[in-house]
Amino acid sequence: MDLDVAVVGAGFAGLYLVHRLREQGFSVKAFDAADDVGGTWYWNRYPGARCDIPTTDYTYSFDPELEKVWTWSEKYATQPEILDYLRLVADRYDLRRDIVFSTTIESAVWDDAAARWRLVTDKGDEVVCRHYVMASGCLSLPKTPDIPGANDFAGEVYFTGKWPHEPVDFTGKRVAVIGTGSSAIQSIPLIAEQADELVVFQRTPNFSIPAHNGPPPADRLAEIAADRDAYREAAKWSRGGVPREVTTIMGTTASPELRRERFEAAWEAGELFAILGIFADQGFNPETNEIVSEMLREKIREVVKDPETADSLCPTDYPFGTKRPCLDTNYFQTFNLPHVRLVDLRKNPIVTIKSDGIDTAQESFGFDAIVFATGFDAMTGPLVAVDITGRNGVTLKEKWADGPSTYLGLTTVGFPNFFAVTGPGSPSVLSNMTVSIEQHVDWIADCLTDMRNQGFDTIEPTPVAESGWNQHVADCAAITLYEKANSWYMGANVPGKPRVFYPYIGGVDSYRAACDEVRSRGYFGFRLSGPVGEQVNDGVVRRLQPDVQLVIETMEAMGLPPLESLPVDQARMFMVMARAERPPGPQVGEVLDGTLPGADGPLDYRLYRPATPGPHPVVVYFHGGGWVLGDLDSDDPLCRDLCAQAEAVVVSVNYRHAPEHRFPAAADDAFAAVQWVGANMVSVGGVPGQLVVAGWSAGGNIAAIACQRARDLGGPDICGQLLITPVTDSDMTRPSYVENGDGYVLTKGLMDWFWNHYADPADRTQPSAAPLRGELRDLPPAVIVTGEFDPLRDEGAAYADALAAAGVDVTHIRARGHTHTSLTMVDVVLSGAPVRAEIFGHLRALFPASVPA
Ligand code: NAP
């Protein structure tokens, strides 16, 4: 067989691939181990198997006519109905003639000279193809039982993921179910209806909500009927692949009544995305997550009569949502039946499975049947199960030994013309699979068509693009609570599997935008070659931290006028309004407002004291705002964070602003404030000798200048300086101004506006305006922070380099994926937290261990 495309799998993905690729004029065959279409829905025939996305959404959208000829009978259709649907699809588009059933692809080798894949089937046949697509599903390789004696059981053995085709009858039998994931939770109530005795062996309790199954919801049907195309389009651009309103309500600030109201509404809706989206912050903020988790546990305790069983069924050691939540019909109620028992393996672990039952540490059980509902080697399992050898003889299994590495979850370096549908690093299992599958198949079909049209025959991602994507996938996961659970999302269910977050959690919408962008930029991040030659548009498609990108997109969507287009008083008012709804920052021991003598009259300050007993080191802090904007409130959350994390007294000083007070008023005030604090270390609760001068942006500018003046003008003694994305020079021609001068919040236009208000051009090169131009020897050790997407990045870096060259001890922290402002957005830009933790760790190291007498 010599094909344009060979596909593994004839489930939702494989079927649509055959259809789309054939439409595009490619020769294509799909191979499936099963003797019919269906994929997951062919194998998972256990009692109660249904989808957990409403079937009105869990459906193909590529052909509006298909939607007219098929109506789902239930909100969550059963496995037989979904299989019937896929059979209809296969018939309607005459797909079977290009599917080879009962055939497994066992190996695939890339032949570089021929630019072809050579596949071998379990029947020993060779298939040669230009492109090789794994549409083998994410949950298609059942986990091998990892329980001692699993092969010794002489009774009936069933795997939910490989259920027999003939009916299974448990009537009169003693049945064990091992596992309490989605498959178990769906099947247990139905097995209990038949079995004489049912014992459920639970290692980890699962959160589950009632599916409230029934006819498809009338409102959803009406919405689709009203404008089908708009509905399907909205699904494509939603976070999870099902259109729904995204809330901005935070669990921590919602009233108890509102929390309850929103929770009960989601409970009634009986939908995963509803219960996962009650509050905007439940996937990120442990406090909010615990609020939701506890309400879910209350529901379990309300239903389950035996308190000990209820207690065992309540999940307590992972945040809600970080293991796949389940939808059930009467799951918890089943444990009230007299012939059903729960064995909590945490209290009473399995010792061994034996020929006639199961021995636990405390008890011996006899069984006629054991049902393994123990899950899958998810996402990567089915891919590395095939012996796939890419360029230079490296296998996919070898390449992914430490975890998957992909570009867009679709492709991987070293494996040209190889595609994985819903692979690791794509939204896949975190989304409505059908929407993600269609998006992947369309992308692949478009890509192959573009290649053909442009004269390319091989495509492979570049190492730069792939490692950038892996980083982005990891960044997206790092700001969530998902990494806190031992879930199959983390590979934790398979002994020895690398522990990383496998899917992409940035959202179906963001993911689609990235894929579209890659294509529209001439296959950005890919190397294409063929008769026309070679094309490489190398680069990383997503470089901003995901939450920084979200902030920028949100601001852009608001269509705000640029600050520099406003009169100063309006710009200040705008800044005050913009911070009205922001989180307050962490609690500190005490906050006191006061005044201190400035260079030309009193200045307001705010003192933050840690909750721990003093005295403490002291940080004098100057806020950002281009010498024009900002005040004690503007940087309040940052000062709280600084105080709490560095365990230091923070004295935040409100210096005089331009244009009312132009250069060098701000710098003069900063130095006066540092002198005053230096002279009053004990009375502010500080340890003499432990004084750091700090500032952000323009505050970093005057902090740096204050350190230079303290050196030249007789003190005070300063043990360190912390400059966060500081202004160190007035030269706006450095590359970071060119690269980041527009689109990253602080713009070149705004910096112009700040400088124009603050200093005459002639003054801007003086060291008191541009500390980079000052004398730099004998300055206090410095921690300098620069943001990758900040116009000021290079002048910050230049200051770090120049200080180091002058013999000053410098730590330069480069905040990857951050802008000028994002690090200061405490509890808003969560990816800033680990960077601030690093900054404050270095800050603490600036304080001398032993204090001079
Ligand atoms: P799963 O969620 O991985 O659940 C497997 C269960 O077996 C877990 O409770 C696990 O405990 C337990 N287990 C595994 N190894 C064990 C051992 N050695 N000893 C004791 N217990 C063990 O698998 P699943 O239920 O098949 O579901 C997998 C995914 O498929 C779901 O999360 C969902 O995405 C999808 N699915 C969806 C539906 C649906 O509603 N449409 C239905 C079925 C499946 P631990 O938690 O401690 O590992």
Spatial distance between the Cα atoms of 599 and 661, rounded to a whole number of angstroms? 12
pLDDT at residue 587 in the model: 96
Could you read off the pLDDT of 502-523 as tens digits, one per residue?
999 999 999 999 999 999 999 9
3-state secondary structure 62-107: CCHHHHHHCCCCCCCCEHHHHHHHHHHHHHHCCCHHHEECCCCEEE
Calculate how far, in angstroms, residue 179's C-alpha sits from the geometric centre of ligand 1.
Answer: 6
Which of 370, 374, 428, 482, when mutated, tests ligand 1's pocket best, judged by the most ligand atoms within 8 Å of its CB? 374
Whole-prediction pTM:
0.96
Calculate how far, in angstroms, residue 116's C-alpha sits from the geometric centre of ligand 1.
Answer: 38
Calculate how far, in angstroms, residue 489's C-alpha sits from the geometric centre of ligand 1.
Answer: 11
State which H helix or E strand residue 673 sits in: helix 665-679
Calculate how far, in angstroms, residue 446's C-alpha sits from the geometric centre of ligand 1.
Answer: 35
Nearest to 373 by CA among 188, 179, 163: 179
CA distances from 217 to 211, 435, 586 (A): 12, 20, 43
Please check whether residue 639 is in contact with residue 583, taking contact to mean a CB–CB distance below 8 angstroms. no
Helical ranges in 373-524 per DSSP H: 381-385, 396-399, 433-454, 463-478, 508-520
52 lines ligand 1 (CB under 6 A): yes
208, β-bridge pairs: 326
Nearest to 335 by CA among 487, 440, 191: 191
Q: Which long-range contacts (CB under 8 A, 24 or more apart) does 776-779 make?
A: 776/708, 776/802, 776/803, 776/805, 776/806, 776/808, 777/806, 777/807, 777/808, 778/711, 778/807, 778/808, 779/707, 779/708, 779/711, 779/721, 779/803, 779/806, 779/808
Q: Which long-range contacts (CB under 8 A, 24 or more apart) does 450-453 make?
A: 450/519, 450/523, 451/528, 451/530
Residue tagged 């190398």 (tokens): 538
375 lines ligand 1 (CB under 6 A): yes
Q: Would the pLDDT of 174 be above 90?
A: yes
179 lines ligand 1 (CB under 6 A): yes
Cβ-proximal residues to 831 (8 Å cutoff; 6+ apart), any chain: 475, 478, 479, 545, 546, 547, 548, 817, 818, 822
Helical ranges in 611-664 per DSSP H: 636-646
Q: Which atom of ligand 1 is nearest to the CA of 493?
A: 48
pLDDT at residue 853 in the model: 41
3-class DSSP state for residue 562? coil
pLDDT at residue 305 in the model: 98
**Percentage above 70 pLDDT, the chain:** 100
Could you read off the pLDDT of 564-621 as tens digits, one per residue?
999 999 999 999 998 988 899 999 999 999 999 999 999 999 999 999 998 999 999 9
505 lines ligand 1 (CB under 6 A): no
Calculate how far, in angstroms, residue 347's C-alpha sits from the geometric centre of ligand 1.
Answer: 20
Nearest CA to ligand 1 atom 20: 203
Spatial distance between the Cα atoms of 335 and 192, rounded to a whole number of angstroms? 9
> What is the pLDDT averaged over residues 425-454?
98
Please check whether residue 57 is in contact with residue 35, taking contact to mean a CB–CB distance below 8 angstroms. no
Calculate how far, in angstroms, residue 388's C-alpha sits from the geometric centre of ligand 1.
Answer: 27
Residue type, 314: C
Nearest CA to ligand 1 atom 10: 179
488 lines ligand 1 (CB under 6 A): yes
Could you read off the pLDDT of 82-124 as tens digits, one per residue?
999 999 999 999 999 999 999 999 999 999 999 999 999 999 9
Nearest to 599 by CA among 529, 526, 653: 653
> What is the pLDDT averaged over residues 229-243?
97
Q: Which atom of ligand 1 is nearest to the CA of 372?
A: 7
Could you read off the pLDDT of 183-214 as tens digits, one per residue?
999 999 999 999 999 999 999 999 999 999 99
Q: Would the pLDDT of 306 be above 50?
A: yes
Maximum Cα–Cα distance for the chain, whole Å?
Answer: 95
Calculate how far, in angstroms, residue 308's C-alpha sits from the geometric centre of ligand 1.
Answer: 23
Nearest to 353 by CA among 210, 199, 221, 219: 199
Spatial distance between the Cα atoms of 168 and 158, rounded to a whole number of angstroms? 9
Cβ-proximal residues to 222 (8 Å cutoff; 6+ apart), any chain: none
Could you read off the pLDDT of 377-396 as tens digits, one per residue?
999 999 999 999 999 999 99
703 lines ligand 1 (CB under 6 A): no
pLDDT at residue 814 in the model: 98
137 lines ligand 1 (CB under 6 A): no
Calculate how far, in angstroms, residue 301's C-alpha sits from the geometric centre of ligand 1.
Answer: 22
Could you read off the pLDDT of 823-849 as tens digits, one per residue?
999 999 999 999 999 999 999 999 987
Q: Would the pLDDT of 709 be above 80?
A: yes
Which of 141, 203, 275, 482, when mutated, tests ligand 1's pocket best, judged by the most ligand atoms within 8 Å of its CB? 203
pLDDT level of residue 1 (50, 70, 90 thresholds): confident
Residue tagged 């430490």 (tokens): 402
204 lines ligand 1 (CB under 6 A): yes
Nearest CA to ligand 1 atom 35: 182
**Neighbour tally for 626: CB within 10 Å:** 25
Q: Would the pLDDT of 237 be above 50?
A: yes
Spatial distance between the Cα atoms of 176 and 184, rounded to a whole number of angstroms? 11
489 lines ligand 1 (CB under 6 A): no
Calculate how far, in angstroms, residue 477's C-alpha sits from the geometric centre of ligand 1.
Answer: 21
State how far Cα 764 lies from the chain centre.
Answer: 43
**Percentage above 90 pLDDT, the chain:** 97
pLDDT at residue 852 in the model: 45
686 lines ligand 1 (CB under 6 A): no
Nearest CA to ligand 1 atom 41: 51
150 lines ligand 1 (CB under 6 A): no
pLDDT at residue 848 in the model: 87
176 lines ligand 1 (CB under 6 A): no
Which of 40, 58, 183, when mutated, tests ligand 1's pocket best, judged by the most ligand atoms within 8 Å of its CB? 183
Q: Which atom of ligand 1 is nearest to the CA of 53?
A: 41
Cα angle vertex 846, ends 843, 852, to 5°?
140
Q: Which atom of ligand 1 is nearest to the CA of 488?
A: 3
Structure tokens belonging to residue 508: 């179906």
Calculate how far, in angstroms, residue 180's C-alpha sits from the geometric centre of ligand 1.
Answer: 6
Spatial distance between the Cα atoms of 818 and 815, rounded to a whole number of angstroms? 6
Cβ-proximal residues to 234 (8 Å cutoff; 6+ apart), any chain: 243
Please check whether residue 776 is in contact with residue 802, taking contact to mean a CB–CB distance below 8 angstroms. yes
796 lines ligand 1 (CB under 6 A): no
Calculate how far, in angstroms, residue 129's C-alpha sits from the geometric centre of ligand 1.
Answer: 36
pLDDT at residue 581 in the model: 82
Could you read off the pLDDT of 54-68 as tens digits, one per residue?
999 999 999 999 999
209 lines ligand 1 (CB under 6 A): no
Q: Which atom of ligand 1 is nearest to the CA of 375?
A: 23
Q: Which atom of ligand 1 is nearest to the CA of 145?
A: 18
State how far Cα 228 lies from the chain centre.
Answer: 30
Calculate how far, in angstroms, residue 206's C-alpha sits from the geometric centre of ligand 1.
Answer: 9
720, β-bridge pairs: 692
State which H helix or E strand residue 256 sits in: helix 256-269
pLDDT at residue 850 in the model: 54
678 lines ligand 1 (CB under 6 A): no
- DSSP assignment, residue 3? E
357 lines ligand 1 (CB under 6 A): no
Could you read off the pLDDT of 619-674 as tens digits, one per residue?
999 999 999 999 999 999 999 999 999 999 999 999 999 999 999 999 999 999 99
Beta strand pairing call for 156-159 and 458-461: unpaired
Spatial distance between the Cα atoms of 297 and 203, rounded to a whole number of angstroms? 17
pLDDT at residue 849 in the model: 76
Cα angle vertex 341, ends 337, 343, to 5°?
155
CA distances from 212 to 56, 90, 217, 240 (A): 15, 31, 10, 21
Structure tokens belonging to residue 783: 């921690």
Which of 43, 206, 324, when mutated, tests ligand 1's pocket best, judged by the most ligand atoms within 8 Å of its CB? 324
86 lines ligand 1 (CB under 6 A): no
Nearest CA to ligand 1 atom 45: 204
53 lines ligand 1 (CB under 6 A): no
Nearest to 685 by CA among 589, 806, 792: 589
Q: Which atom of ligand 1 is nearest to the CA of 147?
A: 18
